[in-house]
Amino acid sequence: MKTFFPEVGPVPYEGPDSTQPLAFRHYCADEVVGGKTMREHLRFAVAFWHTFRGTGADPFGGAVYERPWNTASDPMERAEDTLRAAFEFGTKLGAPFYCWHDRDIAPEADTLAETNRRLDRIVALAAQLQRDTGMQLLWGTSNCFSHPRFTHGAATNPDPHVFAYAGAQIRKAMECTHELGGANYVFWGGREGYSSLLNTDLAREQEQLARLLRMAVDYKREIGFQGILLIEPKPKEPTKHQYDFDAASVLGFLRRFGLFDHFKLNIEANHATLAGHSFEHDLEVAAAEGRLGSIDTNRGDPQLGWDTDQFPTDLYSTTAAMLVILRHGGLGQGGVNFDAKVRRGSLDLADLFHAHIGGMDTFARGLKIAHRILSDGVLDAHRQQRYAGWAEGLGQRIMAGAATLPELEAYVLSHGEPQPRSGREEMLENLVNDYLR
């Protein structure tokens, strides 16, 4: 059998003092943190599109990477080589999951029927490789944005014929995800947004989008797919305004169209920051309503205003994210998918390993730190203290819906001015820093 990474063996855990670049310092799959192994907490996934289909191209220059899985002249042979490379990589890295778009794993043919046959062939191979390696599918999704037919959107397209194409593609991708035992199915609204309001009927387009999602809910039931349907918010790119702007707008959209109970959210770090939020903000908004499903991890660049999809190496950010995730009871069927790509200049196969190892270690550290902060209870005690007034007397009456505006007036007339209290932000920031040692 072909091997694509002959120079790299299984990546070992060597502990924080290791000087070996191709080893974990913090991610130890079997180590138990707060009753669960790191493998169970983090459920890492490798993203097929960036790591195996990425070429290093940018708007100023074409492909730069030379990948050994990309050399065969027959496109289907290339697709099979690429799939085998992905499983070899994931196994050596020790990532239990992978994720794909339909068009990443099987190249599109001239007709939908032929494209679907290609998918079937690749899905059969994927099923076999999953059995051989034990790797599993975290989620599948459909690429309804790259092909020219989707230039004006997929579900939100002005032409119902294009809507139909997107629906056909999604049906097949859901079926393939189901066949491979996928734990989730993702909807990222590729071009579901607008470029100009001059030619856009915004209200109609959102209704169209809701129609498509409703069909997906029905189809999920029809085939008995047990995975969770996830929506991945993003504020812009490729369109000027994406309808799934951020966690709050997606939750509002789902409520408006009666879809709330059928979807959870897949929160991506760099999308949250593009929306003007922090990663932890969007995680918290989703988790607060019990709708945090999974995460796409990466990071943006503060000097660049687009989706740079860099690997997560910022310990503050992973700690803040893990605080939200642990507080809300974990990711369940979701996981931590590396929706991240190496830089154009990172040409070697080894760079793919360095990138994932760094990301996994940064999350493992964030997990351990967040767990210590929460077990020590100092942050939560401070929070509880801050809201203590709501646990008794007036606070309790207000929240029980028993108080009235005249009663509030009477209260203030008899009690006078409220006592000012510090929020102690700087003290809490120092506290978190103490744990980062």
Catalytic residue set: 101, 104
The encoded tokens of residue 401 equal 């819906």
CA-nearest of 87, 91, 68 to 11 is 91
User: Binding pattern to ligand XLS, positions 47-86, x when CB under 6 A?
Assistant: ----------------------------------------
What's the min distance (Å) between Cβ of 52 and Ni ion? 16
What's the min distance (Å) between Cβ of 101 and ligand XLS? 6
The encoded tokens of residue 367 equal 């997990």
Nearer to Ni ion, 83 or 265 (CB): 265
Supply the angle between the helices 75-93 and 112-133 in degrees, to the nearest 10: 30
What's the min distance (Å) between Cβ of 291 and Ni ion? 17
> By CB under 6 A, is residue 339 in contact with ligand XLS?
yes
> By CB under 5 A, is residue 296 in contact with Ni ion?
yes
> By CB under 5 A, is residue 244 in contact with Ni ion?
no
What's the min distance (Å) between Cβ of 47 and ligand XLS? 7
CA distance 124 to 118: 10
Taking CB under 6 A as the criterion, the residue among 44, 97, 165, 188 binding ligand XLS is 188
**Considering CB distances under 5 to 8 angstroms, the limit depending on partner class, which of Ni ion, ligand XLS, none binds residue 118?**
none
What's the min distance (Å) between Cβ of 271 and Ni ion? 6
Pairing of strands 184-188, 32-33: unpaired
**Considering CB distances under 5 to 8 angstroms, the limit depending on partner class, which of ligand XLS, Ni ion, none binds residue 141?**
ligand XLS
> By CB under 5 A, is residue 282 in contact with Ni ion?
no
> By CB under 6 A, is residue 205 in contact with ligand XLS?
no
Site for ligand XLS in 90-109 (CB under 6 A): 101
> By CB under 6 A, is residue 192 in contact with ligand XLS?
no
Q: Tell me the sheet residues that pair with 99.
A: 47, 139
Contacts of 309 (CB under 8 A, 6+ apart): 50, 270, 298, 339, 340, 341
Taking CB under 6 A as the criterion, the residue among 104, 268, 282, 284 binding ligand XLS is 268
* Residues 129/84, Cβ–Cβ less than 8 Å: yes
Q: Give 228-269 as a DSSP string.
A: EEEEE--SSSSSSEESS-SHHHHHHHHHHTT-GGGEEEEEEH
* Residues 209/156, Cβ–Cβ less than 8 Å: yes
CA distance 366 to 371: 8
**Considering CB distances under 5 to 8 angstroms, the limit depending on partner class, which of ligand XLS, Ni ion, none binds residue 239?**
none
> By CB under 6 A, is residue 141 in contact with ligand XLS?
yes
Burial zone of 229 (CB within 10 Å; 0-12 exposed, 13-18 middle, 19+ buried):
buried
Largest CA distance in the chain: 85
**In the complex, which residues of this chain contact Ni ion (CB under 5 A)?**
268, 296, 307, 339
**In the complex, which residues of this chain contact ligand XLS (CB under 6 A)?**
101, 141, 186, 188, 232, 234, 268, 296, 307, 339
